[in-house]
Amino acid sequence: MPQITYREALNQALREELERDERIFIMGEEVGYFGGAFKVTDGLLAVYGEKRVRDTPISELTIVGAGIGAAMGGLRPIVELMTINFGLLAMDQIVNNAAKIRYMFGGKAKVPVVIRAPQGAGHQLGAQHSQSLEAYFLHCPGLRVAIPATPADAKGLLKTAVRQEDPVIFLEHESLYGVKGEVPDGEHLVPFGKANVLREGKDVTLISYSKCVYDSLAAAEGLENMGIDAEVIDLRTLNPLDLDTVVESVGKTGKAIVVYEGWRTGGAGAEIAAQIYEKAFDHLDAPVERVATLDMPIPYNARLEKAALPSPAHIISAAERIV
């Protein structure tokens, strides 16, 4: 399989889906002539034209609302937000309309819209542009939440997202766009709700998603040098959440560490840890550890920013405490 970047994998998925279904179109700020803030939609305007690759005004509430209306009218929009931080301006549309319309209309109206957005810290963009907000959307019933780590999953999960009948929040970490990996050509679908065991181990289970998958893999290598065999699970999606794979792994290792870039308090990792306690308590030989971003606005200073975020060193320290 060819090696391509995470960015190229997303672009490939968009091209294939635009070609497959004429109801699909893309809309967002600078997605057309500029090719997207992170160049994910680069080159699509030239092929599919302004009708299907639409530059919009700078108004997230309007962009998402228009996408919801188009989806209810029979189209399948892919809405790009320049960053999930700006998605906070569209929370009324996301939470009160996208997530609830299918339920409130008794299934007679559907909202097959994908809302794509980069998120995450590590680039000195300051407290208002460096957040990981997946927990906000995980907390809201009616929204699917996909959060791929690898280029192959970026392509496969995006293609699956476009074909959902429910609204999907599709979160891409800014640090991953240049990451390369093997990606199948042509039709490649990754199912929602199916985690991926990237590394098998017997001493401790590391559970993560998005960029923290790479931190977990790096930590697993460091732990191996210390005689600790770590299993690494990439959740891929948070709603639906594949807890069966997690419980099976914890049943083998007896110990679990949840690694996530959201804030520690009330983060997605807290929910995952709670479900591990509920469904795998008898398997645990130690408390579930959480490695997450400190409960503070993300600092601009590079060293302080790095210190606030989860890292392989933090994961290794957590493993040493419980193994």
Query: What is the distance between the alpha carbons of residues 35 and 77, in angstroms, rounded to a whole number?
Result: 17
Clarify whether residues 249 and 127 are in a common domain.
no
- Scanning 73-173, the segments in alpha helix (DSSP H) are 84-87, 91, 101-104, 134-138, 151-162
The answer to whether residue 296 sits within a structural domain is yes
Examine the domain organization and report whether 97 and 217 are in the same domain.
no
Q: Is residue 306 classed as helix, strand or coil in its secondary structure?
A: helix
To the query of whether residue 60 is one of the catalytic residues in this protein, the response is yes
Q: What is the pLDDT of residue 186?
A: 87
Length of the chain (residues): 323
Is 283 tagged catalytic?
no
Q: For the whole model, what pTM was predicted? A: 0.96
Counting Cα atoms < 13 Å in the Cβ hemisphere of 184 gives: 9
If asked whether residues 147 and 222 sit together in one domain, one would say: no
CATH code of the domain in which 66 resides = 3.40.50.970
pLDDT at res. 184: 94
Q: Is residue 68 part of a domain?
A: yes
Catalytic residue among 8, 17, 29, 129: 129
Per-residue pLDDT, 292: 98
Task: Kindly state whether residue 187 falls inside one of the protein's structural domains.
Answer: no
Q: Spot the catalytic one: 60, 80, 231, 305.
A: 60
Are residue 313 and residue 202 in the same domain, yes or no? yes
In a domain, 188, yes or no: no
114 plus 169 within the same structural domain: yes
If asked whether residues 47 and 125 sit together in one domain, one would say yes
Domain boundary (127, 154, 182) is at 182
Q: Do 132 and 107 lie in a common domain?
A: yes
- Domain count across the chain: 2
Domain shared by 106 and 237, yes or no? no
Task: Encode the chain (323 residues) as per-residue pLDDT tens digits.
Answer: 889 999 999 999 999 999 999 999 999 999 999 999 999 999 999 999 999 999 999 999 999 999 999 999 999 999 999 999 999 999 999 999 999 999 999 999 999 999 999 999 999 999 999 999 999 999 999 999 999 999 999 999 999 999 999 999 999 999 999 999 999 998 999 999 999 999 999 999 999 999 999 999 999 999 999 999 999 999 999 999 999 999 999 999 999 999 999 999 999 999 999 999 999 999 999 999 999 999 999 999 999 999 999 999 999 999 999 99
At 214, which CATH number?
A: 3.40.50.920
Q: Which domain holds residue 28?
A: 3-182
Instruction: For residues 28 and 152, state if they share a domain.
Output: yes
168 and 214 belong to one structural domain: no
Residues 239, 264 within the same domain: yes
- Residue 222 class from Cβ within 10 Å (0-12 exposed, 13-18 middle, 19+ buried)? middle
Residues 9 and 89 both lie in one domain: yes
Task: Look at residue 168 in the predicted model and tell me its pLDDT.
Answer: 98
